[in-house]
Amino acid sequence: MIAILGAGSLGRLWAASLPAHDTAFIPRPGQTPTESVTYRFQALDGTERPVAIPWLASTDRPDLILVTTKAGDTMQAIEGMAAALPVMVPIVLFQNGLGSQQAVAERWPGRPILAASTTEGANRPSPDSVIHAGAGETWVGALTDAGQSHVAPVVERLATSAMTVHAEHHILGRLWQKLVINAGINPFTAILDCPNGDIVTADFFQAHIDDLCTEIAQLMAASGQGGSDAPALRTRIEAVARATADNTSSMRSDMLQGRPTEIDYINGYLVRLGQSLAIPTPVNQMLTERVKQLSPR
């Protein structure tokens, strides 16, 4: 059985897409679970169906854990259940940004900890409905040595969802690529309160994007993630903003719904990395502060 920690849109997408009877949601400590988690699921082709996913019972023995919590909740959520889990059950982290994944791998170095980077699009227009909004791909790789031998079986298991899943030897590089996009789009959409496509012509974006990309390129080079210069990063950020022009970014959406954003694991992560590498990151710092001023955390 696959146990999923985090019943947000991504967790519900995987739960609805994996074979029926193979998934359960893990209740948070202190949470009194109802019989099951029920919602309507809209597939890519527009068809809708009801989904009911049970809560994991104390007698269930999951052989795979997917963690789909927000980055800022991840450590505490795993702390709450790690003691109850056999040490060799693989844990796959689906968080955005960087920082939370490394913290988990450092906290449990002997466990098989894997990370996933996904471009699947899912949103939750109401508490009891989830839409698979866009087909994407998911890459899975090991963060700890103990995770290496689990990559292929986990990929095979996740592929039973009919979503596209690949093994990735350089998962950190893959997470960095997504971080670049999120760092270059999300804070601008949140501060300007606009869909992704509108940022590229905004004065505020134009004024800061080159310096932001220079900071990120320096951090990547100093972290052994080189290969992209600042103009190439800007081109990629603008291409994704245009390709997802009508989308509301996850950060803007968190802000609009009064939820904490993941800024600490996106531009905030880059600020902390810059401090540890003695690389100044004034634009990342300014964006982090502006988003924090506007959001609940």
**Amino acid (1-letter code) at residue 11:** G
Nearer to ligand PAF, 23 or 182 (CB): 182
The answer to whether 196 contacts ligand PAF (rule: CB under 6 A) is yes
Q: Which two tokens stand for residue 45?
A: 């082709």
d(CA 172, CA 99): 11
Smallest distance from the beta carbon of 270 to ligand PAF, in angstroms?
Answer: 15
Catalytic entry in 70, 150, 174, 178: 178
Q: Show the binding pattern over residues 171-190: x = contacts ligand PAF (CB under 6 A), - = does not.
A: ----------xx--xx----
Nearer to ligand PAF, 68 or 186 (CB): 186
DSSP E strands in the chain: the ranges are 2-5, 23-25, 36-42, 48-54, 64-67, 91-93, 113-118, 121-126, 129-134, 137-142, 164-167
For the beta sheet containing 137-142, the strands, ordered from the edge strand earlier in sequence to the opposite edge, are 23-25, 2-5, 64-67, 91-93, 113-118, 137-142, 164-167
Q: Which stretch binds ligand PAF (CB under 6 A): 41-49, 140-148, 215-223, 241-249?
A: 241-249
- Which 35-94 positions form the footprint of ligand PAF (CB under 6 A)? none
Q: Please give the full DSSP string across 83-108, using - where no structure is assigned.
A: TTS-TTS-EEE--SSSSHHHHHHHHS
Q: Which two tokens stand for residue 195?
A: 């869909």
Smallest distance from the beta carbon of 63 to ligand PAF, in angstroms?
Answer: 30
Helix count (H) and strand count (E) of the chain? 10, 11
Q: Which of 154, 240, 270, 291 binds ligand PAF (CB under 6 A)?
A: 240
Annotation says 292 is catalytic: no
Q: Show the binding pattern over residues 255-274: x = contacts ligand PAF (CB under 6 A), - = does not.
A: --------------------
**Cβ pair 240, 188 in contact under 8 A:** no
Q: Which of 122, 120, 13 is nearest to 66 (CA)?
A: 13
Nearer to ligand PAF, 53 or 171 (CB): 171
Number of residues that bind ligand PAF (CB under 6 A): 10
Q: Which stretch binds ligand PAF (CB under 6 A): 50-58, 60-68, 247-255, 281-289?
A: 247-255
**Cβ pair 75, 162 in contact under 8 A:** no
Q: Which of 123, 228, 244, 288 binds ligand PAF (CB under 6 A)?
A: 244
The residue ranges that bind ligand PAF (CB under 6 A) are 181-182, 185-186, 196, 240, 244, 247, 249-250
Task: Enumerate the active-site residues.
Answer: 178
